[in-house]
Structure 1
């Protein structure tokens, strides 16, 4: 059975430390001023001393019906055998169609390579070797869970069976593969 990788972000555990962002930049040699992932503060609610804030990790949502893949004229944006959305920088002509099509603002033009870049779940460098993505293995708060949803024994499958996962912009029909857990967070 094919794998169906997912990332789960437990917002109640994210402390906004940016360790995921730093790990990603180093692991993937992301140029200065650009990010494959980042964790900005999403919402500050309340008044002192009753203040709550939560952080939402932003990155490629690994859509099952990815607009970036369907608009790419050179097929540089594609799904690999495990359903991970990747970019073949040798095929990318830098037309930016995929950046325009992405409703999650998850791509950028890497001026050093001339190709579009994005989160890959560290597929080539780690996941294909049985390791977790750099952001997941570095998360000090334990907010990130990664795994194969087609494996009922995976931590990701078991976690989603017990917790309500939400996807970003479900009304678009892109079927994101990244889930957010809002339990314990004041929205």
Structure 2
């Protein structure tokens, strides 16, 4: 399935709110894996366990420090729901909002200069900053609204799994390394023995707005007391 520019510019704002947090879409149990792609060398994805996440935002701070993200913009956000339950038994639902690194990325399809692209060696959706002309098409086309203009170089920016920093040094993305509860799992979806494939195998997971055909590679384990 391909994502037309018209469809995604129309659907970019569609969101369903539950318990005060933007979450969506279809519950799946391993409904996407390496068979979705044309066998690149690697196909990186991430899983966020909403039950393990405590909303400490260590991930967002680590991302900002490692990738030199200026104040006022963010590659990663942790959204918190309103209180669930009654005092003193109150809990909160935390969910990650960042680039989904879609198999079928609308941001890439609408870019007129080739600045937005999907790396076929890693599956990472990234930006050639030198090609970006600041038209904003990719920002409008992204159904997840996770792209922004970098205030210093005026090019489109977003999470790229620390491709130029930690990943280039053979490390895990900064958010994964900094998480104190191991709520984040990163790895190669093309490797059946990878940690992320093992986590998807044993958990019920969902993906935001998967009905749009984007095939996002950010999987989420739903909060046990919330709704999806």
What's the TM-score once normalised by structure 2's chain length?
A: 0.79
Q: Secondary structure at the match of 2:77?
A: coil
* Structure 1, 129-138 or 7-16: larger mean CA deviation: 129-138
Aligned length: 187
| Equivalent pair of 1:12/1:185 in contact (CA under 8 Å) | no
Q: Tell me the CA shift for residue 4 of structure 1.
A: 1.1
Secondary structure (helix, strand or coil) at the match of 2:130 reads coil
| Structural RMSD (CA) | 1.3
Listed one character per residue, the Cα deviations across residues 71-125 of structure 1 (whole Å, up to 9, x for unaligned) are 0000100011211000011000111100000111111101210101000000121
Match of 2:182 in 1: 142
CA distance in 1, matches of 2:222, 2:109: 31
Q: Calculate the TM-score normalised by the size of structure 1.
A: 0.95
Secondary structure at 1:112's aligned position in 2? coil
Runs (4+) off by over 4 Å: none
1:57 aligned to which of 96, 99, 109: 96
Which residue pairs with 2:110 in the alignment? Answer: 71
Deviations 1:31-51 (A, max 9, x none): 111000011203432221232
SS in 1 for 2:93: strand
Correspondence list, 1:1-187, <5 A: 2-80=41-119, 81-182=121-222, 184-187=224-227
Q: Which runs of 5+ in 1 are unaligned?
A: none
Give the drift of 1:186: 2.9
* CA positional deviation for 1:183: 5.5
Query: What is the rounded CA distance, in whole Å, between the counterparts of 2:81 and 2:103 in structure 1?
Result: 25
Whether the 8 Å CA contact 1:6–1:149 is kept in 2: the answer is yes
Residues in 2 aligned to 1:92 and 1:38: alpha-carbon distance in whole angstroms: 24
CA–CA separation in structure 2 for the residues paired with 1:42 and 1:76: 35
